[in-house]
Structure 1
């Protein structure tokens, strides 16, 4: 144990002096006080011994115990748990009816809580019950503060505090009229409520109601700790139900306008937890009053990063319906979000981009519209590819006679679309430029990269693609693929977005402008990896759309072997979409002499024949099944 500093030595001397004076002067002072009271005329009205008021408070054994405890502190004081005998003396002081002795015990605990760095043994918790129950205000203040210190420093097991029965006296202290006691008891509840079992116990002990009352306290310390305790309690769904029944939602909503940023943050975070449960949205967003929505949007402009970040989180949890999303956009939320994207805080950037992602998603109640499929059907691709091969061997007429049965109509696919009004708003040049700048500056952040790619993909209507290609978004997405530490999920979102953009000729040409050897090599590598099928499929889709461009054909030739390898994997894949993509890519590449020669040497035609036979067998089975159903 290190030597105590001057300040601690002075505190120790003061404490020792206090105990010394108390042991010699306390009884005399009490006697003088009681003598004065006994001489009052109000006591002379009855001489009955049954009405005698004076009863000695300082018992003889308590005086001896206090002296022994004092001697222990003087001779063997250190910041460590007490031994058996001193601990028993401390317990006697704590359970005494004498306020002065209780103050001595409380003062000792307070000093220990400020300096001890090791866990407090279980047996040291028992005296806290008596100290927290004390009728003396100073004892309540010191004991509650020392308990807070022990909890914050991790010197006491939080579940054990509740198991030892200390929760009840702590909750009783919430009813105190003293702000210091209120502040400390709220802090105790806030710290205890980080445990799930403790949250259940606090709810069962009806601890929510007094906390809501103190959330309206005029004392800023009390209010902060009360709202902080409510925040931790909202992590329990059961407590959320209790809070809603007790009228907590209007209280928390009003606290969003508090001048105290801590209160704003705690209340906003509590509302975010409640809003994560959709069943509470009706109570949070009353149709006749959008106070909460407007207040949260105004908090996006807060100068305190954690407040604006938490406002984004709460809005994101609330934006589960098309109507609410439309209201957010109508409340001019986009300029605020554009500003937050440029924030120096990582939490703010991530929270704002996540909210934008929610706003850019497809409304669930929109009808799909007929569109051309992503790729032609497998039968059509097989037909075109085999026609190209067989015409050279047997002639056009013979091919059509032998294989005309494979020609089928390409199916029409329905794809959901976003409400055009909202798309136009989100696809504004300002927002797209902000996204491009954000992506360029934080291309290693998986949250930023993944959400940005999803947003751009959601905005990929044909009339928006020109705006997207004019921004820095496409360049940023392409450069992201070159980073070796990019997470698989982020890469999957990026390649999916680029594959969607590549469907449109103008956007594809813009992508080609940025393509070089490293990017080409990266795309081929991603298409050939087998660990992540979706990532492979999206990368191969980008390649397929770029094949016809002269610049890209020259770049692909450096990777003929790798391209053949992934095409073989695609042609033998169990999923039809992989087969059709492989066939379509093969057909386009055959237009180049170098690729055509390589395919012939690698017996690609033999592999195609196997795929064709499987498809013919499938068609025969389908026709048989249809005929059986008709009969």
Structure 2
């Protein structure tokens, strides 16, 4: 994807806000920090012979550089942060063996990465090599973060970063034990890997193995960025070979079960990229018991947002699968659940244009359909029927056998969920001429299940029964039939019970308030 995860982006934004708040005191802080280092007694020459045996930590030329750098920070940062003088000072500080001076250089780069809106000159990348190689953890953290900032903002050329030799120290930081450094270095690799030449360079430098290791990190930031980097690497067919050889397929398959939706998405798209190459199919299906296939089905059946997955080809395949295996309760149940979860997003129009709706309706006619799979089928259709466009699509497929099946299911209250869903589908289709003609042929059965709904213990059944009754009563033939069957008396009985319940609730609430 070439982007940081949501959490990392928020952390960066928070850090940026912090730096901006502190900008007024940044120059003073750096000056004070370097001044303290210069004045420290450990750097002063001693007349003691023993003292003279030790080489000063701060070299003479570094003293001069620090003083010049302090003067530049104090007077010229806002005017020329990228000038020749500060660059020479940065080189001196970055390549120093003094961690304090390296921290100053890293902090300077971090501040620039938060405020610059122009490209970073090529020569300013050179000090990064020393900073990324630093043995000081704070230097590693700040320098890797500033490089991430420059890359994300497009202030540096991604291919140039690799050409300048910075890929090697970045990959070395993947081996760090510090989660922040790991997170930043993974983000760098993820961003660099949007370039084809960079992907090949990462593969040649053996960057795949540490990324696969970090893909199992317990730190969610590290894991997201590592899997994101792997995703970008899978866009190269050459690197796909390396990934498969290094064992990426089982790692990505296991990550499909991750509780993190970002990790699920990255790993799923990465596997999709690999699957586009036929030569990898055997390796992808090699794990025992069709693990990858079962995991993908489970993921599709989950509630994770899949706008991006509901392409026309997928829906066409689901419809064909349902039609071909409508007597297999396992396939029927999984497929219906997948279609339902896809319908919860902005995919309904695509579903209506696919063979899925017809396949779902025809599946209900199978005598071998079990209650569990029937529950998923009717639940999916009931969810789709809430949209007028989907209702019109269903109406065109309705015929006498399907109408009979729906009415029969609505009357089988021992199968609670399929009964409720079937009645809900009927309720949404009332008012369409074709449906009304078909429903009138089953008028007696409809009145029977309505009586059961009106006296049902669950409120949702009562409400659905009343709503269906009101809509059907608008038709003269149904209205006459209801009068003859004394349905009005049953409704009156329900009304009185409701009023009694409301009165009891009112008394109970008043008593509680007292």
Q: Name structure 2 gaps, 5 residues minimum.
A: 1-18, 360-364, 404-432, 438-514
Going from structure 1 to structure 2, the CA distance change for 1:241 and 1:352 (only over 3 Å counts) comes to: farther
Partner of 2:147: 147
Going from structure 1 to structure 2, the CA distance change for 1:281 and 1:16 (only over 3 Å counts) comes to: same
- Structure with more contact order per residue of length (Cα contacts < 8 Å, sep ≥ 6): 2
- Contact 1:299–1:311 at 8 Å: present in 2 too? no
Residue 116 of structure 1 and its aligned partner are, at CA, apart by: 1.5
Residue 286 of structure 1 and its aligned partner are, at CA, apart by: 3.4
1-structure distance, mates of 2:121, 2:220: 34
Residue 300 of structure 1 and its aligned partner are, at CA, apart by: 3.0
2-structure distance, mates of 1:168, 1:277: 30
Q: 1:234-273 deviations in whole A, cap 9, x for unaligned?
A: 1111111111111111111111222222222221221222
Residue 295 of structure 1 and its aligned partner are, at CA, apart by: 2.1
Partner of 2:337: 336
Partner of 2:259: 259
The Cα RMSD (Å) is: 4.6
2-structure distance, mates of 1:18, 1:260: 41
- Contact 1:272–1:317 at 8 Å: present in 2 too? no
- Contact 1:275–1:314 at 8 Å: present in 2 too? no
Residue 329 of structure 1 and its aligned partner are, at CA, apart by: 6.5
1-structure distance, mates of 2:193, 2:83: 31
- Contact 1:432–1:468 at 8 Å: present in 2 too? no
2-structure distance, mates of 1:338, 1:122: 52
Partner of 1:202: 202
- Contact 1:272–1:313 at 8 Å: present in 2 too? no
- Contact 1:297–1:333 at 8 Å: present in 2 too? yes
Going from structure 1 to structure 2, the CA distance change for 1:203 and 1:7 (only over 3 Å counts) comes to: same
Report whether the alignment pairs 1:440 with 2:389: yes
- Contact 2:310–2:342 at 8 Å: present in 1 too? no
Report whether the alignment pairs 1:10 with 2:5: no
Going from structure 1 to structure 2, the CA distance change for 1:269 and 1:31 (only over 3 Å counts) comes to: farther
Going from structure 1 to structure 2, the CA distance change for 1:89 and 1:340 (only over 3 Å counts) comes to: same
Going from structure 1 to structure 2, the CA distance change for 1:263 and 1:6 (only over 3 Å counts) comes to: closer
1-structure distance, mates of 2:123, 2:273: 37
Report whether the alignment pairs 1:29 with 2:35: no
Residue 282 of structure 1 and its aligned partner are, at CA, apart by: 2.1
Report whether the alignment pairs 1:244 with 2:244: yes
How do residues 316-355 of structure 1 correspond to structure 2 at under 5 angstroms? 316=314, 330=331, 332-343=333-344, 345-346=345-346
Going from structure 1 to structure 2, the CA distance change for 1:7 and 1:331 (only over 3 Å counts) comes to: farther
- Contact 1:227–1:266 at 8 Å: present in 2 too? yes
Partner of 2:85: 85
Going from structure 1 to structure 2, the CA distance change for 1:79 and 1:272 (only over 3 Å counts) comes to: farther
Residue 303 of structure 1 and its aligned partner are, at CA, apart by: 4.1
Aligned partner of residue 290 in structure 1, secondary structure: helix
Partner of 2:126: 126
Q: 1:405-435 deviations in whole A, cap 9, x for unaligned?
A: xxxxxxxxxxxxxxx99xx999x77767766
TM-score (norm 1): 0.51
Q: 1:379-403 deviations in whole A, cap 9, x for unaligned?
A: xxxxxxxxxxxxxxxxxxxxxxxxx
- Contact 1:192–1:198 at 8 Å: present in 2 too? yes
- Contact 2:315–2:351 at 8 Å: present in 1 too? no
Partner of 1:101: 101
1-structure distance, mates of 2:62, 2:316: 61
Aligned partner of residue 289 in structure 2, secondary structure: coil
Aligned length: 377
- Contact 2:186–2:222 at 8 Å: present in 1 too? yes
Going from structure 1 to structure 2, the CA distance change for 1:79 and 1:268 (only over 3 Å counts) comes to: farther
- Contact 1:79–1:115 at 8 Å: present in 2 too? no
Aligned partner of residue 90 in structure 1, secondary structure: helix
- Contact 1:131–1:139 at 8 Å: present in 2 too? yes
How do residues 399-414 of structure 1 correspond to structure 2 at under 5 angstroms? none
How do residues 384-395 of structure 1 correspond to structure 2 at under 5 angstroms? none
- Contact 2:348–2:384 at 8 Å: present in 1 too? no
Going from structure 1 to structure 2, the CA distance change for 1:330 and 1:442 (only over 3 Å counts) comes to: closer
